Amino acid sequence: MLVLVAPGQGAQTPGMLTPWLDLPGALEQLGWWSAVSGLDLVHYGTRAAAERIRDTAVAQPLLVATGLAAAGALFPHESDAHSTLGAAAGHSVGELTAAAVAGALSPETALVLVRERGRAMAVASAQAPTGMTAVLGGDPDDVLAHLDKHGLSPANVNGAGQVVAAGTLSDLAAFAAEPPPGARLRPLPVAGAFHTPHMASAVDHLRALAVAAPVTDPHVRLLSNADGAVVHHGREMLDRFVAQVSSPVRWDLCLRTMGDLGVTAVLELPPAGTLCGLVRRALPSVETLAVKTPADLDAARQLLSRHSAQSATPAPPWRLVVAPLAGIFRLGEVLLGAVLPQGGAVGTIRSRRDEQPVTAPYGGTVVEVLVEDGDPVAPGQPLVRLHPEVAPEGALA
C-alpha cells in the first residue's frame, strides 16, 4: 500500500516552484490558481526571498499550489490517484493538498480555504509576537515538562523524537536558554504559534466559511492530524481541518496508523523531504520517495506501479461506517433494519491510547453489521453498512 503525503508550513524554500513551470500547461494553471488565491504564485514561487514567503498568508497558498502542481503532473487524470493510492495525509496545511488529491475538495476550493486560512492565521499571529521551535531529541516526557514549565504548547508531535514548541517569542527565548537535556533546538521559519490557542480567531473565521464550502467524500482514505484516524467522509474531514488550526498536529499518530494499515511505501509531494525523513525513522521498512523536482517523476511513477492499491471501484448505493483507528470494537445497540440517525452511535473502539466512540456520518437503515462485538479491527475497516435515508421527493437525504 502506498500513502501520499504533503508537507506543511516551514517546508517552503525560495524558488521551489521554478522547475515545475517547465511542464506543459503549468504556467497557465498557476495563473488560474493565482486568480483564485489572490496571490501571484509564480512570482512568490520563483523570485521571492525567503523572508517574503515566510509570511503565513503567502506560504500556505504557495505550499498547496506547489503540491497540487506536482500531483497534477503525477496523476494527469484525477481517477489515476484514486486507483493507485491506499491513503493520503498532509501535515498541517498539507491536509488541504491531500484532500484535493483524494477528491474531497476541488483545487479551487482548497485554494480558497488555504487563502482564508493563511490570512486569518496571519491576523491571529499579529496579535502577539509568537513563533515555533523544533525540539530534536531528548526524553519525550522531559521535553513536554519543559514546555509546560515555560508556558509553551506542543504544537506538533511529529514522532521520531521531534516535537515543535509554540508560544510567545519571550517564552521561546526562555526555553532556549534552558533547553531539555539532550535536545537540540531549531527555530522554524514561520510567523506565529500555529496549532495553539493563539489561533482561536482563525478557527472562528474558517468555521463560518466551511459551513458552505463544497466538499465530497474522498475516494481514498484520509488520515487526520488530530488523532491519526482514518476519515472517509468529506464533511468530517473539513470540520477536523478547521479545528486543527488551534489544536496540536499529531503526526506521530498518523505514522502509527500507517503502520497499522500495513503501508509499504510513502510518496511526498514538494517541497519534499521532511515527512519522508520522519517516516524513515518511525517506519524503517517502508520505502520512501521525496518528489522535489520533475526529474523525480519517473521514479515516482515506478514507485506507484510497485505499490499501487488498484482498489478503485464505483461508489456503491449504500454507505459504510468504518473504523477510524485500530483497536477492539465494542458494538452498541445497533439492530438490523433499524434507522440510525446521522451522528448515531455505532459503538466504541478501545485502542492502545484511549477509547473512541464510533458514530454514523450519514443516517440510514442498518442492512448489515460486518463485525462482531469484541473483534479486533484495523483503520478503515467497514463496521456497519447503511442504506441512505431518502427524502420524500426521492432525493438522498
Average pLDDT for consecutive 10-residue bins of the chain (397 residues)?
Answer: 95 96 95 97 97 94 98 91 94 97 96 97 94 94 94 93 95 95 91 94 96 93 94 92 95 94 96 96 96 97 86 57 90 89 91 86 88 91 80 37
Task: Specify whether 13 is located in the same domain as 89.
Answer: yes
Which domain does 165 fall in, by range? 127-187
Active-site choice (34, 37, 92, 247): 92
Task: Specify whether 237 is located in the same domain as 95.
Answer: yes
Helices (H), the chain: 26-37, 41-46, 50-53, 56-74, 78-84, 94-101, 107-126, 140-149, 169-177, 200-210, 234-244, 251-261, 274-282, 297-307
Kindly state whether residue 288 falls inside one of the protein's structural domains: yes
Task: Specify whether 279 is located in the same domain as 245.
Answer: yes
pLDDT of residue 391: 39
Number of structural domains in the chain? 3
For residue 222, give the nearest of 361, 35, 389 by alpha carbon. Answer: 361
Task: Specify whether 88 is located in the same domain as 206.
Answer: yes
> Under a CB-based contact definition with an 8 Å cutoff, are residues 223 and 231 in contact?
yes
Q: What is the CATH number of the domain that holds 345?
A: 2.40.50.100
What does the DSSP 8-state code read for residue 193?
A: -
Task: Specify whether 216 is located in the same domain as 157.
Answer: no
Task: Specify whether 61 is located in the same domain as 30.
Answer: yes
Task: Specify whether 118 is located in the same domain as 208.
Answer: yes
For residue 43, give the nearest of 54, 58, 55, 56 by alpha carbon. Answer: 58
Kindly state whether residue 131 falls inside one of the protein's structural domains: yes
What does the DSSP 8-state code read for residue 179?
A: P
Radius of gyration of the chain (CA): 21
Kindly state whether residue 396 falls inside one of the protein's structural domains: no
Kindly state whether residue 312 falls inside one of the protein's structural domains: no
Kindly state whether residue 86 falls inside one of the protein's structural domains: yes
The verdict on whether 305 is a catalytic residue reads no
Kindly state whether residue 106 falls inside one of the protein's structural domains: yes
Sign of the torsion formed by the C-alpha atoms of 331, 332, 333 and 338: negative
Residue type (1 letter), 232? H
Kindly give the pairing relationship between strand 376-377 and strand 345-350. Answer: unpaired
Task: Specify whether 357 is located in the same domain as 375.
Answer: yes
Task: Specify whether 354 is located in the same domain as 214.
Answer: no
For residue 39, give the nearest of 122, 127, 103, 105 by alpha carbon. Answer: 122
pLDDT of residue 317: 61
The verdict on whether 77 is a catalytic residue reads no
Cell (9 digits) for 247: 489544536
Mark which of 187, 215, 239 sits at the end of a domain: 187
Q: What is the CATH number of the domain that holds 172?
A: 3.30.70.250
Residues 6 or more apart in contact with residue 127 via CB below 8 angstroms: 198, 201
Task: Specify whether 242 is located in the same domain as 96.
Answer: yes
Q: What is the CATH number of the domain that holds 223?
A: 3.40.366.10
Task: Specify whether 201 is located in the same domain as 296.
Answer: yes
Kindly state whether residue 228 falls inside one of the protein's structural domains: yes
Task: Specify whether 18 is located in the same domain as 85.
Answer: yes
Active-site choice (91, 195, 198, 233): 195
